[in-house]
Amino acid sequence: MQAQVVSLSVATDRALHGPGPGASALRAILDPEVNLALWRRESPPGVAAEVARLSAASCPDLRCRAARASRAADIETLLRDGGLDASRFQHWIADMTALVERFADLVEDRPMTLRIETLADDGCRRFHVDRTHLRLVCTYRGPGTEWLANPQVDREALVSGQPNEAILRHGEPRRMAPFWVGVMRGECFPGNAGKGLVHRSPSIGGTGQVRVLFCLDA
pLDDT per residue over 31-53, tens digit each? Answer: 888 999 999 999 999 999 999 99
Mean pLDDT (whole number) for 119-125: 79
Give this prediction's pTM: 0.88
pLDDT of 61 above 70: yes
Compute φ and ψ for 49, nearest 5 degrees. Answer: -65, -35
CA 64 – CA 59 distance, rounded (Å): 13
pLDDT band at 211 (very low <50, low <70, confident <90, very high): very high
Contacts of 2 (CB under 8 A, 6+ apart): 17, 18, 21, 22, 25, 40
The CATH class for the domain spanning 4-145+174-217 reads: mainly beta
